[in-house]
């Protein structure tokens, strides 16, 4: 049997964490397969230095393309990236393509592979916010309808896929690859808050920083956090920094209890989260990481594509309502930390990558048998 060639299409930083789990599982359980990691990188905003992250993850990037986001209409940029990836697949001739999450590069990778007749495997399938105005939601639906194998991160996501009529044989409850990487970098990690308490804040979504109205609401939330948290560590995303500067919010230093920091490496960010009393964020990945670690998270969104994190009690959706944020900040900062929830999610056991590779191996063998039978 020929050695399979696999191409992994990865986009922003959270994709790297998920892809690392798959690459390491390949190395451990299917070393005969070759993994070719293709990175799409936004170029319109200042890039966070990821050299340290790639070293921490032990993840090689074999080929990198600039993703022309923000330059044209969204649909045309996805098609431009699709064409680039089609040329990449023609040159490299992969037998299978992995895409991760719900970003535009995942849609482009799915379209390019599908047009070339290459099987597509979607890691983190079945997540839904049921907010059709979100580009990410449209991406999720398109990818899941096209991909050959759908790797669901939790039972709720698997149920969503089945309820949408997708064939059971295409749905695999793999678990969450983020927990694989957390377990490898932080053995036996859990929530260990420090005293005096501090909060960690991250904001970057367009709904919170992408317009003057959104920024006004976000600024009012920063004022709430400043008034109620003795210390808040705020690693400032380059997109957020630029949006704040463009809108004229230059002097964030007057909120002296909010300590602005440069973007953190993955290891440093997880360390900050582990020791925080509460995390305040609009990130999807952080909702998962805080749930895996048992850390309380207040999410600055009105919906989430990760409802399991809410049902487990570690994640609360507060939207952009100052009163709701105030209520939960007071409760979490004053509560006895022993009363805080510690989630244990089935399948979030650090073995998601191994389950993914086992399913891919089975698919590969069945495909080879069909070819021999033909």
Closest CA to 25 of 158, 123, 135, 104: 123
pLDDT digits (tens, 9 = 90+) for 108-120: 999 999 999 999 9
Reported as type and span, the H/E element at residue 92 is helix 74-92
66/181 Cα distance (integer angstroms) = 26
Residues in the chain: 374
> What 3-state DSSP class applies to 112?
helix
What pTM, to 2 d.p., does this model score? 0.92
- The domain locations on the chain are 5-183+348-373, 199-339
Coil/strand/helix, residue 322: helix
pLDDT reported for residue 49: 62
Collect all residues with Cβ–Cβ distance below 8 Å to 337 and sequence separation of at least 6.
193, 277
In CATH, the architecture of 199-339 is: 3-Layer(aba) Sandwich (3.40)
Q: Is the peptide bond before 209 cis (omega within 30 degrees of 0)?
A: no
Which CATH class name applies to 5-183+348-373? Answer: alpha beta
> How high is the pLDDT of residue 318?
97
What integer pLDDT is reported at residue 44 of this predicted model?
47
Q: Show the low-confidence residues of the chain (pLDDT under 50).
A: 43-46, 69-72, 343
> Quick one: which H or E segment has residue 81?
helix 74-92
Q: At what angle do helices 177-185 and 284-293 cross, to 10 degrees?
A: 60
Cα(273)–Cα(217) distance, integer angstroms: 24
Q: Return the pLDDT at 227.
A: 94
Q: What is the pLDDT of residue 372?
A: 66
Q: Which helix (DSSP H) or strand (DSSP E) does residue 226 occupy? A: helix 212-228
């Amino acid at each position: 049997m020929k050695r399979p060639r696999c191409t992994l299409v990865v986009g922003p930083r959270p994709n790297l964490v998920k892809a690392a789990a798959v690459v390491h599982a390949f190395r451990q359980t299917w070393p005969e397969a070759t993994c070719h990691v293709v990175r799409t990188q936004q170029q319109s905003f200042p890039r966070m230095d990821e050299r340290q992250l790639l070293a921490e993850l032990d993840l090689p990037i074999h080929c990198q393309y600039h993703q022309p986001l923000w330059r044209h209409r969204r649909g045309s940029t996805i098609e431009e990236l699709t064409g680039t990836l089609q040329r990449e697949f023609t040159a490299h001739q992969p037998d299978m393509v992995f895409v991760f999450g719900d970003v535009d590069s995942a849609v482009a990778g799915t379209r390019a592979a599908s047009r070339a007749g290459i099987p597509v495997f979607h890691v983190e399938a079945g997540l839904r916010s049921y907010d059709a105005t979100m580009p990410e939601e449209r991406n999720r639906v398109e990818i899941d309808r096209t991909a050959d194998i759908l790797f669901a991160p939790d039972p709720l996501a698997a149920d969503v896929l089945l309820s949408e009529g997708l064939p059971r044989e295409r749905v695999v409850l793999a678990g969450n690859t983020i927990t694989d990487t957390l377990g490898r970098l932080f053995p036996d990690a859990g929530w260990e808050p420090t005293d005096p308490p501090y909060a960690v804040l991250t904001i970057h979504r367009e709904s919170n920083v992408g317009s003057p109205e959104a920024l006004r609401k976000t600024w009012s939330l920063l004022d709430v956090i400043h008034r109620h948290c003795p210390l808040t560590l705020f690693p400032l995303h380059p997109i957020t920094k630029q949006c704040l500067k463009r809108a004229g919010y230059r002097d964030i230093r007057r909120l002296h209890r909010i300590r602005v920091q440069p973007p953190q490496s993955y290891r440093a960010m997880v360390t900050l989260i582990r020791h925080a009393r509460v995390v305040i964020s609009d990130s999807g990945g952080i909702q998962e990481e805080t749930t895996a670690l048992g850390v309380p998270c207040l999410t600055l969104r009105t919906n989430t594509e990760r409802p399991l994190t809410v049902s487990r009690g570690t994640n609360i959706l507060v939207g952009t309502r100052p009163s709701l944020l105030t209520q939960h900040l007071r409760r979490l900062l004053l509560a006895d930390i022993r009363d805080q929830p510690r989630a244990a999610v089935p399948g979030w056991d650090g073995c998601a990558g191994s389950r993914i590779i086992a399913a891919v191996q089975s698919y590969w063998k069945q495909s080879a048998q069909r070819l021999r039978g033909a």
